Amino acid sequence: MKAINFASKLMMKVAALVTLCSLALAGIAFAPAPAYAATSADEGTPGPFADGSGLEFICREQRRMLEGQQDRLNLANDIAAKTQTWIAEQKSKGKDVSALEAALSAYKSAIASAQARHDEAQSNFSAQAGFDGNCKLTDRDQAKTTLRTVGDALREAHRLIADANREFRRAVQDWRRANRPATPTAAP
């Protein structure tokens, strides 16, 4: 009898403990929340870049991108000049280079278009509406507009350069494939 009595007492204590814990958790879960004053709709919640540091970072990055893109445009012009010399050499060897000349003409035209878009981006960036000379924010709305127009022109110039490089490289590869020296076949 004592064993049953001890087991039932233990079960009663465990049940009481579980009930007590569940009541404590329910009290915590349903406790009244503190009341806060409502913010006005005009204020909004300031984000992590509310001070304008994000826009200033983008401004500095666009300056870096403009410099890099001008380097790529200079390289493309250098490639065009060297290719012109190579085409002249191939022509002097009596090879038909009309496809290469057409490809080079299209390449130079695309480079000129990309340079025009790049110059537009550089001009908009140099005006720096919304920023001072060191990419410090002065007017948020003007800065956003400036960054958007510069970014659009940069992307367009990049697309023009990338497409021109791809097409020109493909044209040169096709010409080389077509003008490979014939390999002699082995006699049986």
Using alpha carbons only, give the angle 47, 53, 54 rounded to the nearest 5 degrees: 70
pLDDT band at 187 (very low <50, low <70, confident <90, very high): low
Cα gap 17→128, rounded to integer Å = 69
Contact status, residue 88 vs residue 95, Cβ threshold 8 Å: no
- The predicted model scores a pTM of 0.66
Task: Please name the residues in contact with 102: beta carbons below 8 A apart, sequence gap of 6 or more.
Answer: 171
Instruction: Write down the pLDDT at residue 68.
Output: 93
pLDDT in tens, 44-96: 555 555 666 788 888 888 889 999 999 999 999 999 999 999 999 999 988 89
- For the chain, percent of residues with pLDDT exceeding 90: 44
Contact status, residue 62 vs residue 135, Cβ threshold 8 Å: no
Instruction: Write down the pLDDT at residue 76.
Output: 94
